[in-house]
Amino acid sequence: MAANFILQPAGFLDVPPFGSSRIFGKLISSRFFCNASHHKFNPVIASICNASAVDPTPSHSISHGSSTESTLILIRHGESMWNEKNLFTGCCDVPLTRRGVEEAIEAGKRISYIPVDMIFTSGLIRAKMTAMLAMTQHHQKKVPIIMHNESEQATTWSQVYSETTIKQSIPVITTWQLNERMYGELQGLNKKETAERYGKEQVHEWRRSYDIQPPKGESLEMCLRRAVTYFKEFIEPQLQSGKHVMVAAHANSLRSIIMYLDKMTSQEVTNLELSTGIPLLYIYKDGRFSSRGSPVGPTEAGVYAYTESLAVYRQQLDEMSH
Strand partners, 215: none
Instruction: Give the DSSP letter of residue 15.
Output: E
Query: Sign of dihedral through CA atoms 151, 90, 281, 231?
Result: negative
Given 180, 218, 233, 236, the catalytic residue: 180
Q: Which among 217, 249, 21, 14 has a CA at the least distance from the CA of 130?
A: 249
Is 77 among the catalytic positions?
yes
With b meaning 16 or more CB within 10 Å and e meaning fewer, what string describes 6-42? eeeeeeebbbbbbbbeebbbebebbebebeeeebebe
Phi, psi dihedrals of residue 290, rounded to the nearest 5°: -135, 135
Q: Is the bond preceding residue 58 a cis peptide, omega within 30 degrees?
A: yes
CA angle 301-304-310, nearest 5°? 100
With b meaning 16 or more CB within 10 Å and e meaning fewer, what string describes 285-301? beeebebbeebeeeeee
In the annotated binding site for substrate, the residues are: 76-83, 89-90, 126, 180-183, 191, 207-208
Given 77, 138, 244, 250, the catalytic residue: 77
Residue 242 parent element (H or E): none
Strand partners, 169: 143
Is 322 among the catalytic positions?
no
Catalytic residues: 77, 180
